[in-house]
Amino acid sequence: MGTVDLLEILAPGILASLQDTGRQGYGRIGVAPSGAADSYACRIGNLLVGNLENAAALEITLMGFQARFRCEAVFAITGADLQPTLNGRPLPLWTVLRAAPGDRLELPAAACGCRAYLAVGGGFHAPAVMGSRSTNIGAGFGGHEGRALQAGDVLRGCGPASYLSLSGRSLPDTLWPVHTSDWVLRVLPGPQSDQFPAASRTQFYEALYTVSGASNRTGVRLEGPAIAKEAGAPASILSEGILCGAIQVPGDGKPIILMNETVTGGYRKIAVVIAADLPLLGQVAPGDTVRFRETDLAQARQLLSGVEAAVDWARRHFSDWQQTL
Amino acid sequence: MPAEIRHLGDRGLLVELGDGIDPAVNRRVQRLQQMIVRETLWGVVETIPAYCSLLVVYDPLRAAPQALARQIRGLCDFEDAAASEIQRPVIEIPVVYGGEAGPDLEAVAAYHKLTGEEIIHLHSGTVYRVYMIGFTPGFPYMGELPQALDTPRRETPRTHIPKGSVAIAQRQTGIYPVVSPGGWQIIGHTPLELFDPQQDHPSLLGMGDEVRFVPVTAEEASQWAR
């Protein structure tokens, strides 16, 4: 199937980049997974428009995104509600919609959440680098020319004409994630949680943190009570492998929730966000509040099964059409 | 020291095999990683080695962490009994020291009350072990620097360090493979490409490699190719 000019970027907003489910298996050479910060929204969006769930989607941050379709296509917008419109008319989320050449898509401002995903039938064309189409912005590879999108970029699509019949289908609202601006993230104790005084741990779980404007795809930075380490303990530890969701406490005591752009870290981890809540972590926006609630491995597994069951439902209901092509 | 295994959330097991920057401990990390790769443990997604620990990343819906930890403990006992290592030859890295290529060389020399020439002689006179790759793609953490080169990080980190910069901090030396921020003291520059995502083996260096720096002139460097 040939590629065609699909979407012209008029304004990228704060940050727009191509992301998929991420780059696995290269941590040993310092390559972070990258990938959609809200993997649930990215996977569901792709399944809705008839793609495989690991296709690349456009991750759009907070506000100010404008683009023009260059050809007929179906698309879905999932994740944060950035109040999307097509030619000025409001669009529903989690729904397959149809666009004609010249149609203008805008995602002006976040009503709730941080990142929206634009998935198109057939997917965005981008070469896989080290097994993924995700943009590694820091190192400058993957995605569209290894960088965030700029005004004037034209993204190519992979045979969008074959997908037009999928217009109209949507995700049942029982499977929509619940977004808020006052988040409760569930965590497990971190590998160095026993190196913090008991009072610091108590403080961490009782605190109400505010998300700093300095947050980005690398990490969510929190303002609020500083977490004290044991008196006399050095500020940092020897670097070790880390994962998305790990909550580091640097020298100033203000926790940073690491995301998908780092593989090693040299600060103590007081707690780690469970896998089931990582898609929510991707929706935490500057100015929001965050609290942490401790859970255990058994419950973490049960919650993740719930998330994967929803994806599995979408997989079964939205991929059957391919057999009838 | 017996392995200590800690949970990193519900997707990772952090296996600690010792303390500090120690070649013997780092070799244990390397051997454990090789064994886990060879055994293809069920549910393991990838492994990330560091100075004295190995992070084993697993799929929580396919692997039970307690069972996985038991398997890893078994491998640790086994690797202590049978230690052997295949060593690649020493990799030579050409470096232009000082001047624009190494803007901190003079300050490092002044800090140690040595000449720039003596710093270069010390830095290039030692074979270093690559303890781990981290921070950015392909960034090698190497050590140990001679005691006489033990230098603190810069007070104020730089926001833009050129690709190829050779730097030192405390008893470690490293090379910045991509443009990035950083706080290490930059003493030189290498023309070698340390990271190329289009290659089958994107990183020039891997954990356990041995490296020696070779002083070259700017003219020699310009003729160098990977």
pLDDT tens track for A19-67: 999 999 999 999 999 999 999 999 999 999 999 999 999 999 999 999 9
pLDDT of amino acid A236:
85
pLDDT of amino acid B214:
97
Q: Do A240 and B6 count as a contact with CB atoms less than 8 A apart?
A: no
pLDDT of amino acid A324:
46
Work out whether strand A209-211 and strand A289-294 pair parallel, antiparallel, or are unpaired.
Answer: antiparallel
Average pLDDT value for residue range B171-198: 96
End-to-end CA distance of chain B: 40
pLDDT of amino acid B85:
61
Dihedral angle, C-alpha A7, A9, A14, A17, nearest 10 °:
50
pLDDT of amino acid A323:
47
- Residue A21 buriedness (CB in 10 A; 0-12 / 13-18 / 19+): buried
Check the CA dihedral A248-B55-A143-B61 and report its sign: negative
Q: Chain A residues with CB inside 8 Å of B141's CB?
A: 239
Dihedral angle, C-alpha A195, A205, A254, B15, nearest 10 °:
40
Mean pLDDT score of chain B: 93
Distance from the Cα of A275 to chain B's closest Cα (Å) equals 7
* Residue B203 to residue B171: CA distance in whole angstroms: 23
State which residue of chain A sits closest to B11, comparing Cα positions: A275
Coil, strand or helix at A123: coil
Q: Does A198 touch chain B (CB under 8 A)?
A: no
Asked whether residue A2 carries a pLDDT value surpassing 90, the answer given is no
Structure tokens at A277: 């809540």
pTM over 0.90: yes
Instruction: Write down the ipTM of this complex.
Output: 0.95
pLDDT of amino acid A325:
44
Is-contact A68 A101, C-beta < 8 A?
A: no
- Residue A67 buriedness (CB in 10 A; 0-12 / 13-18 / 19+): buried
Q: Does B88 touch chain A (CB under 8 A)?
A: no
Interface test with A, best of B5, B6, B10 (most A CBs within 10 A): B10
pLDDT of amino acid A321:
59
pLDDT of amino acid B81:
54
pLDDT of amino acid A320:
64
Q: Chain B residues with CB inside 8 Å of A240's CB?
A: 14, 50-53, 55
State which residue of chain B sits closest to A306, comparing Cα positions: B61
Q: Locate tokens 């993924």: which residue? A: A132
Q: Does A89 touch chain B (CB under 8 A)?
A: no
Residue A234: band (very low, low, confident or very high) from pLDDT cuts 50, 70, 90: confident
Distance from the Cα of B223 to chain A's closest Cα (Å) equals 25
State which residue of chain A sits closest to B30, comparing Cα positions: A28
Work out the widest C-alpha separation in chain B, in whole angstroms: 58
Work out the widest C-alpha separation in chain A, in whole angstroms: 67
State which residue of chain A sits closest to B54, comparing Cα positions: A241
Q: Do B33 and A28 count as a contact with CB atoms less than 8 A apart?
A: yes
Q: Chain B residues with CB inside 8 Å of A243's CB?
A: 8-9, 11-12, 55, 57
Tally of residues, chain A: 325
Distance from the Cα of B176 to chain A's closest Cα (Å) equals 11
Q: Does B169 touch chain A (CB under 8 A)?
A: no
Q: Over the stretch A312-324, which tens digit does the pLDDT of each residue have? A: 999 999 986 554 4
Residue B226: band (very low, low, confident or very high) from pLDDT cuts 50, 70, 90: very low
Structure tokens at A131: 């097994």
Q: Does A267 touch chain B (CB under 8 A)?
A: no
Q: Do A263 and B202 count as a contact with CB atoms less than 8 A apart?
A: no
Give contacts of B 64-83 with A, CB under 8 A.
65
Query: Which residue type sits at B95?
Result: V
Distance from the Cα of A130 to chain B's closest Cα (Å) equals 7
Distance from the Cα of B222 to chain A's closest Cα (Å) equals 23
pLDDT of amino acid A173:
95
Average pLDDT value for residue range B47-59: 97
Average pLDDT value for residue range B33-44: 90
Asked whether residue B84 carries a pLDDT value surpassing 80, the answer given is no
